[in-house]
Structure 1
Amino acid sequence: MAPLSGCLKGKHLFDFDMLGLKPVLLSALKKQGFDTPTPIQNQAIPLAMEGHDILGLAQTGTGKTMAFGLPLVEHLLDQPGKPAPKTAKALILAPTRELVNQIADSLRLLTHDTPLKVTTVVGGQSIGRQISVLSRGTDILVATPGRLIDLMDRGAVSLRTVQHLVLDEADQMLDLGFIHALRKIAPQLGTPRQTMLFSATMPKQMEELSGAYLDNPRRVQVAPPGKAADKITQSIHFVDKPGKPGKLREILSRDEDALTLVFARTKHGAEKLMKGLVADGFNAASIHGNKSQGQRDRAIKAFRAGEITTLVATDVAARGIDIPGVAYVVNYDLPEVPDNYVHRIGRTARAGREGEAIAFCAAEEVDLLHQIEKLMKIEIPVASGDRPEPVRSDKPRRRGGGGGGGGGRNRKGPGQGKGNGQRFDKPAQGTGKPRRQRRRRAA
């Protein structure tokens, strides 16, 4: 196939038919109603199909999964033969269980009429069953880093045959403290390989991460980091903390049938808020780190189907929910990490739809609001209340994942160099705390 990247500069959008994809993939796209690639797909797919490493930057809801999924499946279809027992041909790492499941669902739609097999491994599910499934081998393994390491330690999976690596929402992995897990996984991967790294933001640590992970990558970017989707209408209500529950009920009552995602900062706060809403007759559920995987899956499924109209969540859900029908996102508590605001509101206005993002801001959160507006280079329109003077606190603010993201304290950069011809092989550095303890802190 002739290289396409040279003729695809600028904003021109081509049809999927022009990519030279196999008929089975074009048929799968047609069944899903996809005719024209999104901007990130427009830029990334041709380069990935040519075999380049990719550093992809795009806001949430822009089609990143298909941007790496299509070229990945195309490459695997060109590799005949079944995977050997306990091996995989491609590995996709994502920071949360919800995002792993979302990616796998999208890939299964692409591979439905092919011999390719997609397998997921995440925490909170039976490790015995996962060991059994992996014993037969898989083409595409989608995993959270922590559970993958548990399986590697048990000898249940070998990564020596992996020739395609995808890191999705890599900046969130940094926030959740997964850099040490990545260092342990990377030396076990096959070489040479193609690596694709996708993220919604590009903090300094991401630059270091890409330098360690990628070999002469092609950078594709369709929106400045920190920019929300154009079809999201944003507003802010200045309201003191005791007034937040009443303001939320007022907003929910305006459109009770609309799907509304409400973000709280802590697991306890999310659960308490949800129970209060249910007691007042609202059709609500919650997802956070104290919920089992089954409970989280059932809540998201019910929310997707419209059986539940209000879902209260911590940041564990900010990147793992891809439900086009979400009409409103309410930031009940502002996140302590400004980037997380962008990820949260990116849960609405998906797949070309319009959406509304509503935020509450108490006096003690004014500084957080200032950081968010500085990141986004906008001033969020005020819907009610007056901007109060910021409340200063002597307590040092925690850096990291904020409302349930956790695990990002005192994190080190990914390191430099690629010794012995391997990437990511520098020994882990950090707090010295057990890895399991750090993972439990995440919501």
Structure 2
Amino acid sequence: MADKLQFHEMGLDDRLLKALADLGWAQPTLIQERAIPLALEGKDLLARARTGSGKTAAYAVPVIQRILASKLNVREQAVRALILVPTKELGQQVQIMIRQLTAFCARDVRVADVSGKADLSTQRPVLMEKPDVVVGTPSRVLAHLKAQNLVLHSSLETLVIDEADLLFSFGFEADLKSLLCHLPKIYQSFLMSATFSEDVEALKELVLHNPVILKLQGSQLPDSSQLQQYSVQCEEEEKFLLIYTLLKLHLVQGKTLVFVGAVDRCYRLKLFLEQFSIPACVLNSELPVQSRCHIITQFNQGFYDYIIATDEQGLADPTAPAQTTDGKGKKKKKKKNAGKGRVKDKEYGVSRGVDFQNVANVINFDFPDSVESYIHRVGRTARADNLGSALTFVTHTQLALLKEVEDALTGDNAESAVKPFGFKMEEIEGFRYRCRDAMRSVTKQAVREARLKEIKQELLNSEKLKTYFNDNPRDLQLLRHDKDLHPAIIKPHLKNVPDYLIPPMLRGVANSFSGKRKRRRNDKPKPAGVIKTPFKKNLRGKNPLKTFRFTGGASKGVGRGASKGVGRGASKGAGRGAKAGKH
């Protein structure tokens, strides 16, 4: 077996090698080892590799190397590389990666990200300086080309299409075809994708010339040494019971992404977890990109350990009938005219194109509607060299879908990729009444008010509405002083877990977390020979029922004395009691 090709053996510029060393990349990943030498030879590439395998650097390194080589001969400043992405979030991620790789040659290689929704006039000055690399969505790049803020037909050397399998599904087909008319006749192209779909094949015919096809992995997810995948069969009520137990007893540790089937389900699960003082945030596809990025940043910085999200399904054409799940495994069709006149943000994707960092676990609370969706969700964990785990809840109606996923991931291997989760539901039966108690507070009205509360906060924080509120202060005052919304009643008694409810098999794990604070408070070093006695703390305020000491005779005398002494005299009762006690 040949030795693995290293970065310093690829003929890269010293400044680029220094940046790679600073990033801590000792050796290239598989996609980087195969793609970079071919790209440096001038080949067109169609590469498929799993999410998190290093695809961004696999095309960014040869792009930067080619620009540095060009500048040795041509001093004229021009846009030499165009990188097209399906989402704003991915555009920001690509820009950051290129800036890290050009840390020691930033003057020679400049990059501009125009994938945001800022006005064209705001981005025009950046493009007029002719950055070497332009990153953007097809619609935004096309808008700049039409406004003549960007000229590519004479200078472009490299075209990269990242996450190619999402471009058409996000509604960029027409924009991309129009954009290609503004490019020169000869340029090098890279198509990077997590899957080979019909859309990718269509793109291949449009932009590639005799490409080298790199299909690096039969399975698009890491193997079992890096990613552990489990499934557990449970019905609707058991889903809430199980996720409560897993999170509250700390059986799931680390940053966790929870995927559900609809936005309403996000808020329902969030309100349910709040009943037990388990904080989680919702990544709502209906909120503006700035808000979504803020939530992701908070998650990455550790403000939340749990983030609840949905797929990007149905964003391609809001007016077309699409199949979605209701969370219970049953598919439902949207009405023909549903969503007409309402344009969703087609540049948005939750499970793809978003830079979630250090995700330890993915929980599929609702089963994904396709194998590709499963791969995209689970691909958020076990990225690069990190370990990860995935747990999927499966109802009895979704067993056929699970079989499809297993067949797609297993391939020729005899061992199944998705293993049964060894968890006995009867062990947590004692928690069921608590879950039912919590669910009584999570009503449709509570979910509605939780969403309204978030929208209200979004209106108050909106930069676009500041001018309107300045002109209409009365509206701002009404919004601020609107009646308080109470999404759900929090029941304090659900916060703590009594020890008697914890299953015997789980007490060691649960107590290792819940008992830490108790040990700090109570287990102070004692002087030698002192025996810890109960109720010693309350000596000043003695409770007679707890401190009263008696013998058998005394209790008998007190009883007789009390019964007789009330009517005939305390002395007579006391005498009889004393006599009985002596006897």
Q: TM-score range by the shorter chain?
A: 0.7 to 0.9
- Counterpart of 2:263 in structure 1 is 267
Task: Report the Cα offset of residue 167 of structure 1.
Answer: 0.9
Out of 231, 236, 239, the position equivalent to 2:231 is 236
- Counterpart of 1:170 in structure 2 is 164
Matched, 1:354 2:348: no
Gap runs ≥5 in structure 1: 1-9, 387-443
Matched, 1:139 2:172: no
- Counterpart of 1:218 in structure 2 is 212
Matched, 1:298 2:294: yes
Matched, 1:381 2:419: yes
Choose between structure 1 and 2 for higher RCO, CA contacts under 8 A separated by at least 6 residues.
1
265-274 vs 302-311, which moves further = 265-274
- Counterpart of 1:111 in structure 2 is 102
Q: 1:116-173: per-residue Cα shift (whole Å, max 9, x none)?
A: 1111122444544323422322211111223323333433323323221111111122
- Counterpart of 1:15 in structure 2 is 6
Distance 1:274 1:153 in 2: 44
Q: In structure 1, give the amino acid aligned to 2:227.
A: I
- Counterpart of 1:150 in structure 2 is 143
- Counterpart of 1:64 in structure 2 is 55
Q: In structure 2, give the amino acid aligned to 1:206.
A: V
Secondary structure at the aligned position of 1:78 is classed as helix
Distance 1:118 1:261 in 2: 31
157-166 vs 252-261, which moves further = 252-261
75-84 vs 33-42, which moves further = 75-84
- Counterpart of 2:362 in structure 1 is 329
Out of 182, 189, 207, the position equivalent to 1:188 is 182
Query: Relative to 1, partners in 2 of residues 1:22 and 1:180: Cα closer, same or farther, differing over 3 Å?
Result: same
Distance 2:211 2:281 in 1: 42
Distance 1:155 1:247 in 2: 56
Distance 1:288 1:121 in 2: 23
Secondary structure at the aligned position of 2:21 is classed as helix
Secondary structure at the aligned position of 1:326 is classed as coil
Task: Report the Cα offset of residue 195 of structure 1.
Answer: 0.1
Tell me the TM-score normalized by structure 1: 0.78
Contact 2:256 2:306 in 1 (8 A): yes
Distance 1:130 1:266 in 2: 35
Distance 2:275 2:119 in 1: 34
Q: In structure 2, give the amino acid aligned to 1:185.
A: L
Task: Report the Cα offset of residue 320 of structure 1.
Answer: 2.2
Secondary structure at the aligned position of 2:418 is classed as coil
Contact 2:47 2:191 in 1 (8 A): yes
Distance 1:243 1:216 in 2: 53
Distance 1:197 1:131 in 2: 27
Task: Report the Cα offset of residue 245 of structure 1.
Answer: 2.7
Distance 2:232 2:166 in 1: 28
Distance 1:159 1:276 in 2: 52
Greater share of residues in strand: 1
Distance 2:259 2:28 in 1: 31
Secondary structure at the aligned position of 2:168 is classed as helix
Task: Report the Cα offset of residue 271 of structure 1.
Answer: 4.1
Distance 2:390 2:26 in 1: 29
- Counterpart of 1:100 in structure 2 is 91
- Counterpart of 1:281 in structure 2 is 277
Distance 2:284 2:58 in 1: 28
Contact 1:262 1:313 in 2 (8 A): yes
Out of 186, 199, 203, the position equivalent to 2:193 is 199
Contact 1:25 1:110 in 2 (8 A): yes
Greater share of residues in helix: 2
Query: Relative to 1, partners in 2 of residues 1:190 and 1:328: Cα closer, same or farther, differing over 3 Å?
Result: same
- Counterpart of 1:409 in structure 2 is none
Task: Report the Cα offset of residue 336 of structure 1.
Answer: 1.6
Distance 1:185 1:166 in 2: 13
For the pair shown, which has the larger CA radius of gyration, 1 or 2? 2
Q: In structure 2, give the amino acid aligned to 1:64.
A: K
Out of 2, 10, 15, the position equivalent to 1:24 is 15
Task: Report the Cα offset of residue 228 of structure 1.
Answer: 4.3
Distance 1:138 1:276 in 2: 49
Query: Relative to 1, partners in 2 of residues 1:69 and 1:250: Cα closer, same or farther, differing over 3 Å?
Result: same
Secondary structure at the aligned position of 2:282 is classed as strand
Task: Report the Cα offset of residue 379 of structure 1.
Answer: 5.8
Q: In structure 2, give the amino acid aligned to 1:300.
A: I
Q: 1:97-120: per-residue Cα shift (whole Å, max 9, x none)?
A: 222221111111011222211111
Matched, 1:179 2:217: no
Task: Report the Cα offset of residue 319 of structure 1.
Answer: 2.2
Distance 2:357 2:80 in 1: 31
Task: Report the Cα offset of residue 324 of structure 1.
Answer: 4.9
Task: Report the Cα offset of residue 331 of structure 1.
Answer: 1.2
Q: In structure 2, give the amino acid aligned to 1:21.
A: L
Query: Relative to 1, partners in 2 of residues 1:158 and 1:272: Cα closer, same or farther, differing over 3 Å?
Result: farther
Distance 2:30 2:213 in 1: 13
Query: Relative to 1, partners in 2 of residues 1:249 and 1:140: Cα closer, same or farther, differing over 3 Å?
Result: farther
Q: CA RMSD in A?
A: 2.4
Secondary structure at the aligned position of 1:92 is classed as strand
Matched, 1:344 2:344: no
Task: Report the Cα offset of residue 291 of structure 1.
Answer: 1.9
Matched, 1:251 2:284: no
Q: In structure 1, give the amino acid aligned to 2:23.
A: Q
Report how many residues are paired. Answer: 374
Distance 1:229 1:185 in 2: 39
22-31 vs 370-379, which moves further = 370-379
Q: 1:13-66: per-residue Cα shift (whole Å, max 9, x none)?
A: 222111111110011011110110011111000000111101111111111111
- Counterpart of 1:366 in structure 2 is 399
Distance 2:369 2:351 in 1: 14
Gap runs ≥5 in structure 2: 312-348, 411-415, 426-583
- Counterpart of 1:319 in structure 2 is 352
Q: 1:262-318: per-residue Cα shift (whole Å, max 9, x none)?
A: 122233333443344345422322224212121111122222222221122223222
Distance 2:60 2:184 in 1: 19
Distance 2:37 2:54 in 1: 15
Contact 2:49 2:194 in 1 (8 A): yes
